[in-house]
Structure 1
Amino acid sequence: MKFSALLAIEHFRLIVVGGGTGGCAVASKFSRLSHFKQKKQIAVIEPNIRHFYQPGFTLAAAGLINPIKLVKNENTLLPKMVEWINNSVETFSPAENIIATGMELRFDLIEGLPNGEKSVLEAPGICSIYFPDGAAKTLAEIRAFSRGQNAIFSFPNTPIKCGGAPQKFMFRERGVRNVEADRKIATFQKLDENGQVINGNDVEFKYNLLHIGAPCSPVSVLRNYAKQKENKLTDIQGFVKVNPKTLQSEEYKNIFAIASQLKVLTFNLRAQIEGKNSTISYDGYSSCPLLTDRKRVILAEFNTDGPSETFPFDQSKPRRISYLLKRYLMPPLYWHLLIRGYWLGPEKNKII
């Protein structure tokens, strides 16, 4: 891996690419293990100075939380034993110990939004909760919206961060491919029952408010690496190829992808460091608190087999208690436990 001529000469036992939720949590967790008690053994490479609690963007867009509570400086979240490299990765050398993470918002994939997030902020009537300033603009657009006007909420036919987020508001059509901001017209691709695009069947909708579910892709360094002939690290899109159960690369046993959890990776990466076999497997568990109004939430928890609920009540029903968890418990749990590697989640994991 190369991130600068100066820093490349330093050697770390564990390198985490990306200082988001998973990156910070893994680095913090491993900094407390006996294997990593000395300095200069763990590094986190993250170019952004600010770290956001992204699940709070829906609350901010609804005017339910002050956006200032959703951001902290990156250097306040990492232990002193962890070296924060405030830089970007240029390329990968898979022989080194790396944990790859991160998704990139790709508004630029939509015709009419060539400047990505900037285009969303500048175009009247267009908003998205997928980035901080976009969440603030979403609140402003909703407050300016009048009864009887036309609102469209799109859902991309590409990978997406938190697929439930645009549905927390509403969605009409899938696969927005073009926006004419000056005329306030959005063009959508029609999809068949299998989610495949039906060519030649685009439809246009006039809108007063257009919320865009942001298309996502791997970060640019992984997309570029995917084009190399010798690439065995990623698929053709740039997603790191790993065993979906162990999260370990099939080709490079020293590489893991963080995905959307911490527990499985922590156990299996530690086993790899100690020369042991992976011990537990990931069942696809995820959680998505869905705001249904300003006072109630559906607390969705699921894995690849279906619902995987934690509480004894029916979580599929909108409840006030679920909203209170989303609004008041989850933000401090994130900042004080999850991001610091203390909270491994409620999921049940299978022994391999």
Structure 2
Amino acid sequence: MKAVKFLNTVSKTENISFRAFSVSSQCHADKHFRLLVVGGGAGGCGTASKFASKLGKGKVAVIEPTTTHYYQPMWTLVGGGLKTLEQSGRPMESLLPKEAAWFKEKVQSFQPDENSVTLESGDKLTYDYMVVAVGLQLRYDKIKGLLDAFETPGVCSNYSDKYVLKTAAAIKNFPNGGNALFTFPNTPIKCAGAPQKIMYISEEAFREAGKKANIEFHSSLAVLFGVKKYADALWKIVEQRGININLRHNLIEVKPDSKEAVFEHLDTKELITRPYDMLHVTPPMNTPPALGENKQLANEGGFLDVDKETLRHVKYPNIFGIGDCTSVPTAKTAAAVAGQLGIMRHNLGAVLAGKDPQAKYDGYTSCPLVTGRKTCVLAEFDFQAPPQPLETFPINQAKERVTMYMMKAHVMPQLYWYGLVKGWWEGPAIFRKLFRFGFSK
């Protein structure tokens, strides 16, 4: 887009009075923005923070209905009793740039051909450019009986602020000789390592409490982890700890009265029923309907259809995507958002200046695989097929280390709050080059 068009667009809005963080959508109704950011998660906050000060007050808007922003990677430690839920949350207002307008509601529909979105209130916003960062929604309702089971002891999930504290209680109250089941659903999910992390923390807690436990991991996947180097390390850990791994098993029903979980074997279609004393559920996930059901924006799987390297939409050149809601074939983590944020800075910045995007995302993502209350395997990898390690430190990161746990528990939260959501942290690529003397891997 030419500079002249930018100036003309700005002139249309410069006399409009904006009130940042408005609780009323009416004072912003039917307004035009230079940049519209849909979603206030890590990707949305980071993108808004990067561009709001550059474009000026009232030129950027963020659409996000929640008033509390959670650092969800911390919920593994909250469920394990190692952090509090309060430590994982901050007021949304404290994270969004003051120059941006904030609409505290959901998007009802996208109209990309009209460069507009309609909010649930019925208000319509138009834009020159849009970044979609709506994340994934949890679908506990897709598992028969699960919502009722959450009302009973022992059934928990680290993926929701409603149920994460139940995990710590389930670990504490676990009976000697009981059955502990951990699940991985048959959909893409946030942080594919998280279903295992809490399993390792629980096993360690049971063992240190002198409790015998039958621990089972039921995963819809055909592998324990998607990167062979780390999968090999995890197989050694589960074998040493006597954890039973059941691949291609998908949870389809929970029977709270009899305390049983029903799994479907995805290859044979056989139904397997297992008793539980503790059941940690990772729910199926999908994008919000406004995106997933929009055939213009989403692919067949319901994800925003973007070029995996530039993050630009394959059909609409003024739309970009970041984070879990996109079709980028990499693990959906905060680390991936950080890597994508650097690409967003270059490529969205280029098109705002009327240039073509040149930066290419290498698929970097990271999963700190917590294996206990003091140890962690730091998995870092790309989106090659199959994924390959893309490690920062010149050591064997597949080894359990106390230092990696300390980084996960204490350093990464600070990088998130003061770096990523503020638009500063773009991942460890620069440190990788330093540690590896200029080499990319």
Give the TM-score, by structure 2 length.
0.72
Provide the residue aligned with 2:6 in structure 1. Answer: none
Match of 2:280 among 199, 211, 229: 211
Q: Residue 17 of structure 1 contacts residue 45 of structure 1 at CA under 8 Å; is this kept in 2?
A: yes
Q: Residue 153 of structure 1 contacts residue 211 of structure 1 at CA under 8 Å; is this kept in 2?
A: yes
Q: Residue 125 of structure 1 contacts residue 184 of structure 1 at CA under 8 Å; is this kept in 2?
A: no
Superposed displacement of residue 6, structure 1: 6.4
Unpaired segments of 5 or more residues in structure 2?
A: 1-23, 116-128, 200-215, 220-249, 324-335, 434-441
Superposed displacement of residue 121, structure 1: 3.6
In structure 2, what residue type is equivalent to 1:188? Answer: F
Q: Residue 26 of structure 1 contacts residue 341 of structure 1 at CA under 8 Å; is this kept in 2?
A: yes
Provide the residue aligned with 1:131 in structure 2. Answer: 160
Provide the residue aligned with 2:360 in structure 1. Answer: 281
Residues 71-105 of structure 1, C-alpha deviation per residue, up to 9 Å, x if partnerless?
11101111110111111111001142321121101
Q: What is the CA–CA distance in structure 1 between the aligned matches of 2:34 and 2:49, rounded to whole Å?
A: 14
Q: Residue 43 of structure 2 contacts residue 322 of structure 2 at CA under 8 Å; is this kept in 1?
A: yes
* Pair 1:222 & 2:303 matched: no
Q: What is the CA–CA distance in structure 2 between the aligned matches of 1:120 and 1:76, rounded to whole Å?
A: 36
In structure 2, what residue type is equivalent to 1:126? Answer: V
Provide the residue aligned with 2:47 in structure 1. Answer: 26
In structure 2, what residue type is equivalent to 1:160? Answer: I
SS of equivalent to 2:131: strand
Provide the residue aligned with 1:327 in structure 2. Answer: 409
- Displaced runs of 4 or more, over 6 A: 3-6
Q: Residue 37 of structure 2 contacts residue 131 of structure 2 at CA under 8 Å; is this kept in 1?
A: yes
Match of 1:9 among 6, 12, 30: 30
Provide the residue aligned with 1:303 in structure 2. Answer: 382
Q: What is the CA–CA distance in structure 1 between the aligned matches of 2:311 and 2:29, rounded to whole Å?
A: 26
Q: What is the CA–CA distance in structure 1 between the aligned matches of 2:150 and 2:368, rounded to whole Å?
A: 26
Q: What is the CA–CA distance in structure 2 between the aligned matches of 1:19 and 1:123, rounded to whole Å?
A: 32
Superposed displacement of residue 18, structure 1: 0.6
Q: What is the CA–CA distance in structure 2 between the aligned matches of 1:217 and 1:46, rounded to whole Å?
A: 18
Provide the residue aligned with 2:217 in structure 1. Answer: 172
Superposed displacement of residue 292, structure 1: 0.7
In structure 2, what residue type is equivalent to 1:71? Answer: G
SS of equivalent to 1:32: helix
Unpaired segments of 5 or more residues in structure 1?
A: 193-197, 226-230
**How many pairs does the alignment contain?**
331
SS of equivalent to 2:367: strand
Residues 246-298 of structure 1, C-alpha deviation per residue, up to 9 Å, x if partnerless?
11111100111102321112211111111211111112111111111111111
Residues 166-208 of structure 1, C-alpha deviation per residue, up to 9 Å, x if partnerless?
011335223111111111111111133xxxxx33x11111111
In structure 2, what residue type is equivalent to 1:298? Answer: V
Q: What is the CA–CA distance in structure 2 between the aligned matches of 1:221 and 1:122, rounded to whole Å?
A: 30
Superposed displacement of residue 4, structure 1: 6.6
Instruction: Map residues 214-253 of structure 1 onto 2, 5 A cutoff.
Output: 214-225=283-294, 231-253=295-317
Provide the residue aligned with 2:242 in structure 1. Answer: none
Q: Residue 149 of structure 2 contacts residue 256 of structure 2 at CA under 8 Å; is this kept in 1?
A: no
Provide the residue aligned with 2:425 in structure 1. Answer: 343
Q: What is the CA–CA distance in structure 2 between the aligned matches of 1:107 and 1:9, rounded to whole Å?
A: 35
Q: What is the CA–CA distance in structure 2 between the aligned matches of 1:40 and 1:265, rounded to whole Å?
A: 20
Distance 1:4 1:89, change over 3 A: farther
Q: Residue 120 of structure 1 contacts residue 134 of structure 1 at CA under 8 Å; is this kept in 2?
A: no
Q: Residue 41 of structure 2 contacts residue 69 of structure 2 at CA under 8 Å; is this kept in 1?
A: yes
Alignment RMSD (CA, Å): 2.1
In structure 2, what residue type is equivalent to 1:31? Answer: A
Larger Rg: 1 or 2?
2
Residues 207-229 of structure 1, C-alpha deviation per residue, up to 9 Å, x if partnerless?
1111111211001222343xxxx
Provide the residue aligned with 2:100 in structure 1. Answer: 82
In structure 2, what residue type is equivalent to 1:10? Answer: K
In structure 2, what residue type is equivalent to 1:123? Answer: T
Greater share of helix: 2
* Pair 1:66 & 2:84 matched: yes
